[in-house]
Each structure stands twice: as C-alpha cells, then as structure tokens.
Amino acid sequence: MSQASSIAVEGLKFPADLLQERVLAALREAGADEASAAAAARAMMHASRLGIDSHGVRLTPFYAECLRSGQINGSPAFTIKRTAAGTSMLDADHGLGHAAAYAGMEEACRIAKESGVGAVGITHSTHYGAAGAYALAGAEAGFIALSTTNADSLVAFHGGKTRFHGTNPIAAAAPVRGSRPWLLDMATSAIPYNRILLFRSLERELPDQVTADIHGEPTRNPHLAEILTPLGGADFGFKGAGLAGLVTILSAVLTGATPDHLVVPMGDGHTERHDIGHFCLAIDPERFVGRETYDLLMQQYLAGLRGSPAKAGAQVLAPGDREWQTMEKRDRTGIPVDPDTVRFLDLA
C-alpha cells in the first residue's frame, strides 16, 4: 500500500460513542432485537478499542447481511438447562453469537460461584467475533475464564490443501488485583480470516505463509487468498491444527453443534441457518488457593514476567498489555475504521 494511502486510512478515526451508536442503529435496522444488538455492539467495540480490527466494527455489515437473509435469528429465545452441579447447556436459537456467549459466560460464573468451577456448552449459535470479549467478561467478574468457538471451515489441516477447521479461537483471561486482567485471545490459524477481508479493503499485502489460494498454493495477495494455514507454519502447523481440533471437540462435539467442515458458511448468499457452538469455563480462585493468595501470586508472577530482561529494542509484555495500551490510545485519539465500513456506517 502506498504511503499516501496509509496516511488516508490512518486519518479515518472516530470516537467510540459515535461508532457504538451507528453499529447499534445498523443492527436494529437489520432486524436484531435490543438485547442481541447491544451484545454484538459491545463485543465489536471491545475488539475495535483493543486493536483487534479484524473483529471490530468492520463486521457490522456482515452481521446485518446475515440478519436480513435469515441466517441469523434476530429475536432468539435462549434456553438454559442446568445439567449438573458444575455444568449447563444453552440453546442459542441461532441468534447472534455475541449475546449467547455473554449469557453463557454469565451462567458459567454463576455456577462457579456455587461450585468452584462452571462449564457451559452453547449450541445452535452463530459467529461471535472476538473470543477475548467473553473471557474478559469472566475475569472482570472475578473468575479465571476460558472461551472457545468452532466455525465454518477456512483453515487447511497441517499438510492439507483444502479447508477443514475453522479459525477456532481460544481466549483466556484472569483477574489481577488493582490492574486490568491478564488476557490471551488467539486464533488457532496463522491469522483470522477477517484479516484477509480487512487487507482487501486496505489494499495491503498479507504476511508470508499465512494464506493460500483456492488451489492450496501460498499467496500474499488478499484478493487471491482463500485458505488459511494453521498456527505454527509449514514445520509446526500440527500444533495449531491440534489446538483447532480441541476447540471443535469442546465447542461443537461436546455441545451437539455442527463440526467445522459441515457448517454452512455465513454470508455470501447463503440462507440456511448457521449452526456452530461455543464453550465457556469459569474457575473461582477462592475455591482453590484462596483469593488473597491468588492475588499475591498473580502479582508476583506478572512482576517477574514484565521485569524479565528484554532483547535490544524489544519489550517483555504479558498477554493483554499491548491491547490495554492500544485501548488507552484509541480512547484518546479515536478508533481507526477502514473505508468500506466508513461508507456502510455513513461516517464520511
């Protein structure tokens, strides 16, 4: 991308309040009820504020399209069934996955408060954006939290040349006394698929060895990229592929949702209901080492991590540190938005 183009994109920044207002309006207009629209906007703003732009407000037109086509149920009736002392199942009724995931994590935390550990399987759901939004919600409630989701197949298996797994993210968060939570949010693919779409919009070349064309050949051209590669690259992609399989087992097999390679994709003219699953886990530190000792050990651990010697020109950061820095900056200066989304949200 040219320097002039880069400067133009950098200049498209907007305050969070305005973006949230426009996102909510677009989702309501597309048919989402108030609870669904609010949850989706909350999750997308989480991503945009923390710098996870591939899963931020740029997804609004995608969700609006799927709401209008009927792939997503705009007014779902969630049902939650307690199945044991530490477990529940939530049927999302094919609604926006954001609302289902927030509800699932809330239920997991409620169970963990009672039983020490709470696990919730979510079935018949749809794309939920950035997994870290839900793990963070658990950590902000005082629990160590885990969130996973399966997705329609976009990622080649290690050694394969066709799509098999979804991007299948794993997110985890842990509370830190007096500070923002430790937060890990990672896809099990080399990059998320929405990064391809973002780079298409920005006319920016992709990193090397993270995508392939429809024939399975490596490409950096976002307009030719159709297949993602698993985390770990050519030599160690079996690690990302194995983690993606674990996510499928937790999110789809365990919950009764559709495995990745059988999921009908969202958008692109499809009208059949999307059907994937999520998994939420909450752990109460009080029931293990106790809150006071947990808080002390977390602070000792993070102080040691951040105080570790760094290479020249580098900085040692805990998971989440870079995102919190980005959030503070964007809250001051505005959130950058790609040109396609600027047009859709009528921000120009």
> What one-letter code names the amino acid at 139?
A
Structure confidence at residue 192 as a pLDDT band (50, 70, 90) = confident
Cα 296-297-299 angle, rounded to 5 deg = 65
Residue 209's pLDDT is 87
The answer as to whether 340 is a domain residue is no
User: What is d(CA 117, CA 32) in angstroms, rounded to the nearest whole number?
Assistant: 32
Number of domains in the chain: 1
Mean pLDDT of 93-110: 98
The range of the structural domain enclosing residue 293 comes to: 72-323
The answer as to whether 94 is a domain residue is yes
The answer as to whether 280 is a domain residue is yes
pLDDT digits (tens, 9 = 90+) for 129-187: 999 999 999 999 999 999 999 999 999 999 898 999 999 999 999 999 999 999 999 99
The answer as to whether 305 is a domain residue is yes
pLDDT digits (tens, 9 = 90+) for 1-23: 333 333 334 558 999 999 999 99
- In this structure, what DSSP letter does residue 265 have? P
The answer as to whether 89 is a domain residue is yes
The answer as to whether 110 is a domain residue is yes
The answer as to whether 26 is a domain residue is no
CATH no. for residue 90?
3.30.1370.60
Phi, psi of 224 (to 5 degrees): -100, -20
The answer as to whether 25 is a domain residue is no
**Strand runs labelled E in 150-288:** 155-156, 163-165, 170-176, 179-186, 211-212, 227-228, 276-283
Q: How far is CA 331 from the centre of its chain?
A: 20
> What one-letter code names the amino acid at 145?
A
